[in-house]
Each structure stands twice: as C-alpha cells, then as structure tokens.
Structure 1
Amino acid sequence: MSDHEGKNLVEMIQISKSFGKVQALKRIDFRVGYQEIVGLVGDNGAGKSTLIKILTGVFPPDEGEIYFEGKKVCLSSPKEARDLGIETVYQHLALVDLMSVTRNLFLGREIVSKFLGFVPVLETNKMKKIAIESLEDLGIRIGSVDESIANLSGGQRQAVAIGRAVHFGAKLLILDEPTAALSIRECNKVLDHILEAKARGLSVIFITHNIYHVYSVADKFTVLDHGVKLGDFEKKDVTAEDIIEMVRTGQVKGEVCNG
C-alpha cells in the first residue's frame, strides 16, 4: 500500500474570492489526491480559473486555507507554487516560437557552465541530450529537439510543455484546455501523455469544456457553477452525459452520487 493511500496532495478549504461586487468563489472545498487526475469542469464564469489562480499564487483568497502535502501554505506568487512542485500548462502555452524545443524545455532553468563577464555560457549539448532523453522517456516523438517550436503542431507543443513539467519534478500538473483545437489523433496523444504523467506519480488537474476528453482519463470530477461547487463525483458514479447536464443546468440530478 502506498504511503499516500487515502491522503490528499492538495486541500483547498472554504475558499472565497470576490472582485468588487462580484463573488467569484463561495466557500469552495477542492481536493486532489496523490497520483490522481481530477477533472475541474464548469461553464464560462463558473470560477475554475479563479480557483486555479489562487492555487498557483496569482491571487490571494479572501477566505480559506490551502494545504499542500499536508502543510498549510500561503502562496504569494507563481514562483512559490512552482518551487513547491505545482506546474501549470495554460491553453496559450508559455513557449517561445523562435526558440528550439531544447531551449523551451529549459526556459528559465538553463544549465550554465560559467559566465563570461555577465554573459552566461549555456551547456547546449548537455541540455540537448537531456531533452532527447526526457521526451523519449515520456513517449513524446519530436523530429529534432533543434526544431523551432513554431514548426511544431499543437499536440507536439502540448507534449513539450507537459514534458518540461515532468522533467523538472512537478508533483501537481495543472492543464488548462490541453486538447483545445487539436485533431482527434493529436488529442489522443495528449491524453496518453496525461496518463503517463499520472503513471509517473504526478497528480493532474484537467480543466476543460470538453467533457468527453476529460472523462476518458479522470478519476473524479469537481463541478463548479457561478462560483459554487455542485459537488465532487467519482467516475464510477457518473457518466459523461451526467456531467454535461450538470454543467448545462447548474443542478445535480437526484440519482447522481455526490461525493
């Protein structure tokens, strides 16, 4: 039995957030277990982005507490979240088109051998070798790590961003609409990479409007509606159609088991 059996990597307790007169979140409880994929779903304006921005240190909560690996944390910046092992891959990826796959993989974390004055000398060959090994290890197929990111498909870009998070020791991977605007084949590859990340011990928060995509990989679902949590639902207790109906109506059917 795992040491983490039955425990949570993330616990957000009674989180509230207002922007002026608009209450974006109302006493939300949100939990992610170890090595668990949670689908965070809801329509536009449900509060998904606000909740994640609080978890990643972009916004402070007005009320509530956050625990990570059982310890209370107060995150005041995305860097603090990354230092804990929380990596976010946004829909508009933080990748530099004109840079190579290798440079993007190490963006902000370059390996430097020395400085010439104030200019760092990069360990280019070492970074390239690590990039090849890391991506291949995850089953990510890129023609060449010297290739410019601009020349990659949407699915390949997502794969590089996920590979970067895994390589740098993320414990929690937050994916914002990772399958948006992808072909069916590329979407399936990205979903495979998400399952591979879980197999390697990561927990994943999967934010999406496409319920069928998240349903295929998630262990449970948290459904939000206008800043209120409708409930937590184990996959065994709901169908994709049940979740779609909840998002559409903002209500939970009587026969659906609410965790």
Structure 2
Amino acid sequence: MNTGKVTLVGAGPGDPELLTLKALKAIQAATVLLVDDLVSPEVVAHASPRARIVHVGKRGGCKSTPQAFIEKLMLMAAREGETVVRLKGGDPFIFGRGGEEVEHLRAAGLEVTVINGITSGLAAATSLGVPLTHRDHAQGVIFITGHAQKGTDTPDWRALAATAHSARLTLVIYMGVSSVSRIEDDLLTGLPPETPVAVVQHASLPEQRHVVTTLGRLAETVTREGMASPAVIVVGDVVRGVAAAAADPVARSRAA
C-alpha cells in the first residue's frame, strides 16, 4: 500500500497575498486539496489544474462536514499515494482543529507536516493599525474562542476579565458574536465599561467591515450594525488609538 504525504496548510485570513511562500508551494504541489469553507477562492486558484479539490465546509452555526469524515478522506487519499493538502483558514493550530487532525493521522502511521498561516485575530487587529501588544498598553495577548465545544464548559469570562485587567492583556475573541451579550456582561465584572473594543468582520477581504465601541456598549453596537460571523472581537487599551480616531471628525474626514 502506497503512502502519500499530508500537509496541513494555513491559508491565512483570506487575502491571497498574505499566503506564505511555503504555503503557496504546498498548494501548488498538492494532488488532492481538502478545502475549508473560509478559504477564499483566490487562494484555491493557486492549485494545480490537475489537482482534485474537495470542499469540506466548516463554519460555526452552519451545516458542516463531520470532522471524522474529513479525517477519513485525508487518510484514504494518503494511502492511495496522493499528495494531500488540508487547506484551512487562518492557522491550523489556532482554533482550526489542526491538533485533532495531526493526532488522528499520526495514530494511523502517517507523517504530517504543518505550515503556519496568519491567524484572523492578528490580521483583524493589524487591518485597523492596532498592535496586539504595546509596551504602554498591553503586556500580552490572549486568543480565545467564544464558541465552546458541545458538552464542555464555556470560557470563564469573569476570570479572564480580572486577569486581563490586572496583567494588562489584550483579549482576542474568535467566534464570539453569537454570545456577545453574555461575553459583555461577564467581562464587565472585571473590566471598566469604557474599555475600547473593535469588532472586525471578514478580516483582510475586500468586504471587510468593522465597528469600534466600548465594552459597555458592545452587544448593542454589534446588533445595531448587523455584525456577523466570521468576525473577531478585540478588547483592550490597544484599541484606544483607533477609537479616538473614530470619534474625531477631522480624522474621519482625512480617512475618507
């Protein structure tokens, strides 16, 4: 039985120009690509015309391809001698189930390579000119999901708020829009209501949009502006600069 190669590739947040050279080479060399729903068509266009492309959509709140089935497809293709690329939005090891897939494939005796991609939390902040760490405002950053796996506890937002406040940390929340009311209420137990917040939808893509608000008005703003998934919520003093610019009519005029 032949054994092919399996590579988990981070496609980045969507903009094809944010692909790494290593990711591009892997995509071009693949004979089979299993593509996540959030990977842009412009990224998939780099695949060889001879490659077999299988779309295995996975998006919160939508009908998704079962994870077990995706792992079975990768295993079958590799055992047929194919060069398999599992193309994932963002980075495979940041809320991309890359860890589960690597464990499954290695347990089956296959060697797996992982190629990092720019995660959407970083791209979202950078698109607004917001650093996730800053010597004057944030000594660290926490990436956390607002969407817990079924049967597991949701994040302890109250503890996170207290830690973020005392340690001066930026919170980057993935998949949190659907739970934004609870997140706001719990974070307000440890963070001031005037804490600046940015919500970025479709980071790095032409259709990107964002709102800047405060923690005390987060849920209200998300609802009023119709912000929806996929979106990233950035909470912390690092957002203060863009918040000030949004409130300054002169700055808004210059930006326009």
The structure richer in helix per residue is 2
Do they superpose with TM above 0.5? no
The structure richer in strand per residue is 1
Q: Which structure would you say has the larger RCO, counting Cα contacts within 8 Å and 6 or more residues apart? A: 1
Give the TM-score taking structure 2 as reference length: 0.30
